[in-house]
Structure 1
Amino acid sequence: MASAVSTDPQDDLKLLKSAAVHAGIIALGFFRSDLKTWTKSHSSPVSEADIAVDTFLTQALRAARPAYGWLSEETLDNTDRLSLDRVFIIDPIDGTRGFIRGDDSWTISLAVVENGVPVAGVVYAPARDEMYAAAINDGATLNNRILKAPRRTSPGWLIPAPMAVHTLLSEGGLDYERGPSYPSLAYRLVQVASGDLDAAVARRGAQDWDIAGADIILREAGVTFEDVCLGTPIYNRAETRHAALAATASPSLLSPLRSALRSVYGCPDQLQHASE
């Protein structure tokens, strides 16, 4: 890979946090307003707010780090990123459906990935004034307060899960409550880092931009985050989709979550072979 300009992950994190705050101001200007919306591939919603935030982030971040590659949900992909060591991975508004209907848990999810691994990340919920952030080997924070996910034991686990996964977990005898399922996957994941949820899962098909910002926050907070077919997620590949995902700080939850997710969503043959 061609080498990008070397920048300390803490410097990248400062850049991401500043950009997220400014992007949040832009997004809040559209929130709970007469919003223009439309659909794109796979009936996924998009709004004028998504595009406005993406435009700002493209200009602000790429001007600050012109040697970095770029991957955003709302920008046409350019495979030049595959030849670069460092890449911005961006979701301008994660949880667009919730944003459109006025739910306040949508987020701006930003990450810097180096050689496939997130080294700095932010998940910012502007309407809730919550800034989750982390840089590699430097810990995770929520509004500058250090995050360390608790390792609780049953009973009393709180886990949001799709109905099919919930059914399998219940049939397997797991003692837990079905928690809230936020429209932003990134926000749902970082609730495990804060200890508000004991685990979070994602269906097969989540994209790099859905999870890269949350990934570094989870790991720095002591949460195990895995692709249940391949293990540790790898980013900035030609294929940006992932198999089903699980996040938890409680080791005893990993096996039942992994089993239920594989049963419901399966693993593509090539992924299953690679994980053996």
Structure 2
Amino acid sequence: MSDKAPSIATWKEDLDLILSAAIAAGETALRYFRNKPDVRWKNEGRSPVSEADIAANDILKERLLLARPNYGWLSEETDDDQSRLSCEAVFVVDPIDGTRAFIAGKDLWCVSVAVVHRGLPVAGVLYAPALDEVYEATLNGPALKNGASIRVRDVQDGDALHVAVAEDIVSSLAPSFRNGIVRVPHVPSLAYRLAMVADGRIDGTVVKKNSHDWDLAAADLILERAGGGLNTLQSQALSYNRPNVVHGLLCAASKAALPGLLAASRTLEGH
């Protein structure tokens, strides 16, 4: 692969590619939605996979690798091929983020597709077909929702923060912080939850450990371009396409609210 750095135009071309592929995959998944798709279980019965996940994955893989055969591939629904580690650019894909919601006939699921270059997301798309919503961003451009620019909420001192956090861990947040938040009920798609931070509907979220690259990469970029951040408890940004694609406990919020959320969440390190 050439040592020449890809141009801004390259990421826009990649964005156009993954956007069209995500829409095609989402439209395919929508045909199975609320139509009793076949479901099997993986990870010792902990994770459901529907026939829609597989169909959407097949469309994404065929379209994307046909257009970019030198890119690597990392998907929740494909056995990991470690050859991706030798690729400068990798597609990071979750064909249906929020499979449980999809199976239950709930609207909060999306197709998540990112291009990761040297560990950094450079183009990302989330497509929520049941809601008719498209989020997109490139490394050098704005975050968009259905073509309009989005930003995180401008949080002021004294504002109550609306934070999506699991009920089983909210009581372990630092009390001084916990008492100043409004807990947002569970949002089943992690990628979509991060998009809700990006468009200002919620102010932050705490992500339990064991999320994966495919849950995060596209939404991470969209959130960053909307003025937010997704960090480890050590206040570090995430790196993608590593040998281990599993992440620890994370926090996402606007740049202004993130330090406080991180500080309050360090009491959760054992969760």
Residue of structure 1 equivalent to 2:263 = 259
* SS of equivalent residue, structure 1 residue 159: strand
Structure 2 CA distance, aligned partners of 1:125 and 1:17? Answer: 12
Structure 2 CA distance, aligned partners of 1:190 and 1:211? Answer: 10
Residue of structure 1 equivalent to 2:39 = 37
Counterpart code for 1:81:
R
More strand by share: 2
Structure 1 CA distance, aligned partners of 2:17 and 2:121? Answer: 15
Residue of structure 2 equivalent to 1:145 = 148
Counterpart code for 1:261:
S
Residue of structure 1 equivalent to 2:56 = 53
* SS of equivalent residue, structure 2 residue 77: coil
Structure 2 matches for 1:175-186, cutoff 5 A? 175-186=180-191
Residue of structure 2 equivalent to 1:270 = none
Identity among equivalent positions (%) equals: 42
Decide whether the 8 Å contact of 1:113 with 1:120 is kept in 2: yes
With over 3 angstroms needed to count, the CA separation of the structure-2 counterparts of 1:2 and 1:172, relative to structure 1, is: farther
* SS of equivalent residue, structure 2 residue 247: coil
Decide whether the 8 Å contact of 2:173 with 2:268 is kept in 1: no
* SS of equivalent residue, structure 2 residue 40: strand
Structure 2 matches for 1:119-268, cutoff 5 A? 119-153=122-156, 154-169=158-173, 171-173=175-177, 174-229=179-234, 231-249=236-254, 251=256, 253-266=257-270
Q: Which runs of 4+ in 1 moved over 4 A?
A: 1-7
Unmatched segments (≥5 aa) in structure 2: none
Q: Post-superposition shift, 1:164?
A: 4.1
Structure 2 CA distance, aligned partners of 1:3 and 1:58? Answer: 26
Q: For structure 1, which segment, 40-49 or 209-218, has the greater mean C-alpha deviation from structure 2 after superposition?
A: 40-49
* SS of equivalent residue, structure 1 residue 133: strand
Counterpart code for 1:36:
D
Residue of structure 1 equivalent to 2:65 = 62
Counterpart code for 2:203:
D
Structure 2 CA distance, aligned partners of 1:6 and 1:66? Answer: 16
Residue of structure 1 equivalent to 2:13 = 11
Q: Post-superposition shift, 1:6?
A: 4.6
Q: Post-superposition shift, 1:65?
A: 0.5
How many residues end up aligned between the 2 structures?
266
Counterpart code for 1:107:
C
1:220-252 C-alpha deviation (Å, 9 max, x unpaired): 11102112246110000000011111111152x
More helix by share: 1
Structure 1 CA distance, aligned partners of 2:208 and 2:244? Answer: 16
TM-score normalized by the length of structure 1: 0.91
1:93-135 C-alpha deviation (Å, 9 max, x unpaired): 0000000001101000000000000000001100000100000
Counterpart code for 2:13:
D
Counterpart code for 1:263:
T
TM-score normalized by the length of structure 2: 0.92
Structure 2 CA distance, aligned partners of 1:178 and 1:76? Answer: 36
1:147-190 C-alpha deviation (Å, 9 max, x unpaired): 12122134332111012432133722441211132110000001
